[in-house]
Chain A
């Protein structure tokens, strides 16, 4: 179910909301959140609910293990075993076929004539028939796996006290607002709100929730999906693009991706508030960043902070020799790249950002003396180049796009160029100069002008959705 679908807006959300606030005690609310989470998730494919339930059960048991055992070995077992299970599930669904095809390429490259199967096939039920097909990536698996792993690690480190309440934990994992595309919420960040859910005040957070939701709705539907109308066909015809067309496509994608994901995050945060759960921010105007380190403090904040806490710091962080810090940065970003998808283009994208962070670390003192517009402009440009690898279906396409962008060549432009330029200008202003929802909703109090503004945004977005412009969120694929 998509946030930007009629079934969600007019059926699921009103029912979920009304029933939730009718329930009076905390356990009933946990159970209701679990039910809604599974209905929301099962709408794509009910079979994947089993996977999420299994992952939940494993991590919950690990939490109970931490509560029961004091011994070092037992606690280590409670850490390693469930994480291994979670990673195996993620690895199978997300990386098995990628690994297979990479292995095949490697074998071919070294001259071994071994033919591996093209893909791992899994059984599935088509009605009453058992059939086989390629592995399908369960939507949002990377996100909820991160939720469960962060819970286990934090419990092991003693950062959180694991919950004994199964439904509280299940509600945390399956919370529909952040289930399939984040933000990656750590248990400690919403633990208090979850525990106080029984006494939560419906009206206190509703205005902020509605404001966040409408803001995100506009970012997604009005901006990201409108840009997608230009960007998707342009990338499909990447071979025919002119230099101007290629720049248009890549710049368009730069803002499409941002507004798509930031829009989703704002909607998720808004939904969280509506249910009395304050989900932390995930984007803070990343295209206003002035250096790579600043960029990662603003882009997908929940992921970058997880990468920092669960990878970079355990690798050694910036403790120890300088070269080790660079190694840790590169490793963290490579894994971060691979987390986004089973493709070498994501690995390259991760390595590229690792390199940017390393360069910045080396030259920060000189870099920081440059005027802000130059630093912001350069950082934006660097991010744009990175998105070429992020978007391209393979390395060859990425290189071709970069070549088209930097070696002038004739070819096709975007359709309706005037509309595209206007849209790009609005997106650029909104993303690089304008305020973000967190600025707008700080100390928020509802006034009549908000009714007018958000009703207008909602109406306009509905009209576009009704016209067939409700594409899935880009980050669902991760």
Chain B
């Protein structure tokens, strides 16, 4: 065999092997999704599309939506099926918030809303828990969502667990304008293998660091030093307070009782090296804030939450004080792991019982 034929043969074998690797990978990724996540083999998968719906008035959870371990019911809420009308004698508790409340990293059935539901049902209390949280929802979007969708479910109590970090974004958050025509279109065919690789590569520590550096450089270019939040921006805390107050008022106007929950954060000073690494990586979302400003802002938002509750004479639960800084309870800086979810549920179940029994007493 000549050298040339040998080289051609090697090249063809290499291309063949690569093609088989890719095909087998795509086949396995789909089989894996089907076997372990119940995703139809030929379905196109996209987290935002599969879990969110833009209707003419607001953004909400997609009815019967599912993506990996996340499953939504007929009304687009995470958790078991419910009826629109409350059953006689049953109290309804709605949880409003973003991904921390929706449950991102907890294993299936371990998000704190679900633990609350299980605990209450174990003790036979006629209470229904609705996890109405939607990942990525800011307070203004939550308000629109409440007014146009969730308020129709007749909640007795509404626990609001806001995500303050959105207020460190380039601009303060505003309500998302729904784009039903654009967003609800079928998604194009995508390789699930490629999607998995992209996600996996993003998790590699040094790639994460490079991405942060790139984003920071890109975002900061052409801006002066005042663009960076060197300390907690008071106007943003104020804006957070106003938006939270507006949402709580909207809830109260609908006849439900709002309960405000202060936000818990993984890292507290003195920061460990791991904390600083994570805070630095978090700047990919909030390049304006210096690492130490992020937890400080969270603490300031927790205080603001209590001020809002006091001003509106609403109840509050302080999750920040007992949970912040307990690194073992968090999967990342803001999202709970299974243990954290368990702790959060423990913290909430008492006030829920008390407030519901107070409501019953009043009536």
Contact = CB atoms under 8 A, between A and B. Distances in A.
Nearest to A467: B196
B174 interface: no
Interface string A270-298: 00000000000000000000000000000
B26 A127 contact: no
B108 to A, nearest CB: 8
A463 B196 contact: yes
Contacts of A455: 16-18, 20-21, 24
Contacts of B22: 459
Nearest to A461: B28
A126 B271 CA distance: 11
Interface string B91-112: 0000000000000000110000
B119 interface: no
Contact of A7 (B16, B18, B204): B204
A74 interface: no
Contacts of B28: 459-461, 463-464
Contact of B25 (A448, A452, A460): A460
A15 interface: no
Interface in B166-182: none
Interface string A448-476: 10011001111111111111110000000
B32 A464 contact: yes
A287 B24 CA distance: 29
Contacts of B27: 460
A416 interface: yes
A456 B204 contact: no
B358 interface: no
Interface in B8-33: 13, 16-18, 20-29, 32-33
- Measured as residues with beta carbon below 8 angstroms from the partner, the interface class of chain A is 20 to 34
B200 A465 contact: yes
Contact of A466 (B21, B200, B272): B200
A233 interface: yes
Interface in B186-211: 192-193, 196-197, 199-201, 204
Nearest to B200: A466
Given A6-B204, A7-B204, A462 B35 contact: no
Interface string A415-440: 11001000000000000000000000
B29 A463 contact: yes
B22 to A, nearest CB: 6
A459 B29 CA distance: 10
Interface in A259-318: none
Contacts of B196: 463, 466-467
B36 A416 contact: yes
B6 interface: no
A451 B272 contact: no
B193 A466 contact: yes
B253 to A, nearest CB: 42
Contacts of B33: 467
B135 to A, nearest CB: 18
A455 B33 CA distance: 21
Nearest to B23: A459
Of the candidates B25, B33, B201, B272, the one having the most CB atoms from chain A within 10 angstroms of its own CB is B25
A229 interface: yes
Given A7-B204, A419-B35, A466-B199, A459 B273 contact: no
B273 A127 contact: yes
Contacts of A469: 32
Residue from B16, B196, B199 whose CB has the most chain A CB atoms within 10 Å: B196
Contacts of A460: 24-25, 27-28
A463 B272 contact: no
Contacts of A467: 29, 32-33, 196, 200
Contacts, number: 78
B195 to A, nearest CB: 9
Nearest to B30: A463
A456 B36 contact: no
Given A6-B204, A7-B204, A459 B24 contact: yes
Contacts of B197: 466
Pick from A6, A226, A459 the residue with the most CB of B within 10 Å.
Answer: A459
B5 to A, nearest CB: 16
Contacts of B272: 126-127
B20 A459 contact: yes
Nearest to B18: A455
Nearest to A453: B20
A6 B36 contact: no
Contacts of A226: 36
A458 B23 CA distance: 11
Please indicate which of the listed interface residues B13, B24, B35 has the most CB atoms of chain A within 10 Å of its own CB: B24
A68 B33 CA distance: 63
A460 B16 CA distance: 15
A142 to B, nearest CB: 27
Nearest to B34: A419
B200 A456 contact: no
A451 B14 CA distance: 9
Contacts of A464: 28-29, 32
B25 A462 contact: yes
A458 B21 CA distance: 6
B267 to A, nearest CB: 14
Contact of A451 (B16, B32, B199): B16
A419 B36 contact: yes
B24 A456 contact: yes
B200 A229 contact: no
B337 to A, nearest CB: 13
Contacts of B108: 415
Given A7-B204, A127-B273, A452-B20, A463 B199 contact: no
A195 B235 CA distance: 72
A126 B274 CA distance: 9
B26 A463 contact: yes
B193 A451 contact: no
Contact of B21 (A127, A448, A462): A462
A148 to B, nearest CB: 32
Contacts of B38: 416
A419 B27 CA distance: 17
A416 B35 contact: yes
Nearest to A7: B204
Interface string B54-87: 0000000000000000000000000000000000
A463 B107 contact: no
A278 to B, nearest CB: 25
Interface in B25-52: 25-29, 32-33, 35-36, 38
Interface-central residue, A451, A461, A467, A468, by most chain B CB under 10 Å: A467
Interface of A: 6-7, 126-127, 226, 229, 233, 415-416, 419, 448, 451-452, 455-469
24 contacts: A126-B272, A233-B107, A415-B108, A419-B35, A451-B13, A451-B20, A455-B16, A455-B20, A455-B21, A456-B23, A459-B22, A459-B25, A459-B28, A461-B28, A463-B24, A463-B26, A463-B28, A464-B32, A466-B193, A466-B196, A466-B200, A467-B33, A468-B200, A469-B32
Closest 9 CB pairs of A and B: A459-B24, A460-B28, A459-B21, A466-B196, A455-B20, A459-B25, A463-B25, A456-B24, A463-B28
Interface of B: 13, 16-18, 20-29, 32-33, 35-36, 38, 107-108, 192-193, 196-197, 199-201, 204, 272-273
Given A416-B36, A460-B27, A466-B197, 12 more contacts: A451-B17, A455-B16, A455-B20, A455-B24, A456-B23, A460-B28, A463-B24, A463-B25, A463-B32, A466-B25, A466-B196, A467-B32
